[in-house]
């Protein structure tokens, strides 16, 4: 490989690394799915019972009824629910919220999670198939994490790779806004909202800069070759 091409490869690689090193939320995808059900008709006690109730509901309603929706959440920041940002219904709700995210090698260790919910019939928090917490009481976090009986929380020791968080819960009325947050190891104090990650403008700019630099190098190389041929 010529020196110019090596420089081009280094430039492109540096741009890609810089782009991926830009700050981003931990999650890659956040989805909230809601279906219509009268929770008072369900038998809910264990984590498995919440999962089973949702699976049965999903089997009977593969497509949401009018007023209920599947939604992808840009920022799980407390102003998200079926009533607020989904299909519009605020009663007789079954929920399955899911977060999939990737842990980089430098982010391994104990991760903390908390989810402000409005589950009048309780809910369960599961990470990678393991239940971290199940509460059966009437839950409404109301924008505060001061009462541990009113939100779902837990910690998990995560290795590098892709991980999945599942939350199942049921609400009779009236579907207030929910929030999902994480605290990564070594990231300093404080929780951060889960977000669905999309390429940020700065990341795109760096990538474009890298490819632009490669193009400039290749054009320069071609021009130099043309001059030699003309001599």
Q: Per-residue pLDDT averaged across 205-229, rounded?
A: 43
Do 133 and 209 lie in one domain? The reply is: no
Higher-pLDDT residue of 13 and 73 is 73
Residues 6 or more apart in contact with residue 62 via CB below 8 angstroms: none
Residues 6 or more apart in contact with residue 85 via CB below 8 angstroms: 71, 73, 79
Do 124 and 160 lie in one domain? The reply is: yes
Do 169 and 222 lie in one domain? The reply is: no
- pLDDT tens per residue across span 125-141: 999 999 999 999 999 99
Q: Which residue has the tokens 């910690």?
A: 155
Do 17 and 123 lie in one domain? The reply is: no
Higher-pLDDT residue of 27 and 224 is 27
Do 126 and 215 lie in one domain? The reply is: no
Structural domain boundaries enclosing 150: 27-193
Residues 6 or more apart in contact with residue 70 via CB below 8 angstroms: 31, 32, 33, 34, 64
CB 115 within 8 A of CB 180: yes
In the chain, the number of structural domains is: 2
Do 106 and 207 lie in one domain? The reply is: no
Do 169 and 225 lie in one domain? The reply is: no
Do 149 and 176 lie in one domain? The reply is: yes
What pLDDT is recorded for position 68? 99
Q: Which pairs with CB-CB distance under 8 Å and at least 24 residues apart come from 57-64?
A: 57/94, 58/33, 58/96, 61/35, 61/36, 64/33, 64/34, 64/35, 64/36
Q: Does the structure show a pLDDT above 60 at 204?
A: no
Residue 207 CA, distance from chain mean position: 24
Do 153 and 220 lie in one domain? The reply is: no
Is residue 65 classed as helix, strand or coil in its secondary structure?
A: coil
- pLDDT tens per residue across span 180-193: 999 999 867 789 99
What's 171's domain CATH number?
Answer: 2.60.40
């Amino acid at each position: 490989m010529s020196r110019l091409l090596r420089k081009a490869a280094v430039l492109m690689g540096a741009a890609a690394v810089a782009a991926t090193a830009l700050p981003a939320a931990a999650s890659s995808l956040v989805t909230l799915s809601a279906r219509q059900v009268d929770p008072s008709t369900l038998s809910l006690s264990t984590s498995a019972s919440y999962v089973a109730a949702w699976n049965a509901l999903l089997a009977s309603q593969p497509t949401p009824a009018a007023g209920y929706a599947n939604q992808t959440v840009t920022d799980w920041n407390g102003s998200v629910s079926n009533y607020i940002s989904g299909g519009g219904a605020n009663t007789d709700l079954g929920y399955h919220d899911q977060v999939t995210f990737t842990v980089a090698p430098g982010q391994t260790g104990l991760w903390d999670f908390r989810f402000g919910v409005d589950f009048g019939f309780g809910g369960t928090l599961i990470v990678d198939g393991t239940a971290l917490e199940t509460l059966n009481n009437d839950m409404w976090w109301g924008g505060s994490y001061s009462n541990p009986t009113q939100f779902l929380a837990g910690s998990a020791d995560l290795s590098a790779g892709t991980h999945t968080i599942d939350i199942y819960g049921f609400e009779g009325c009236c579907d207030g806004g929910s929030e999902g947050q994480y605290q990564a190891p070594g990231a300093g104090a404080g929780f951060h909202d889960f977000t669905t990650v999309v390429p940020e403008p700065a990341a795109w700019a760096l990538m474009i800069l890298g490819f632009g630099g490669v193009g400039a190098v290749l054009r320069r190389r071609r021009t130099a070759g043309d001059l030699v041929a003309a001599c």
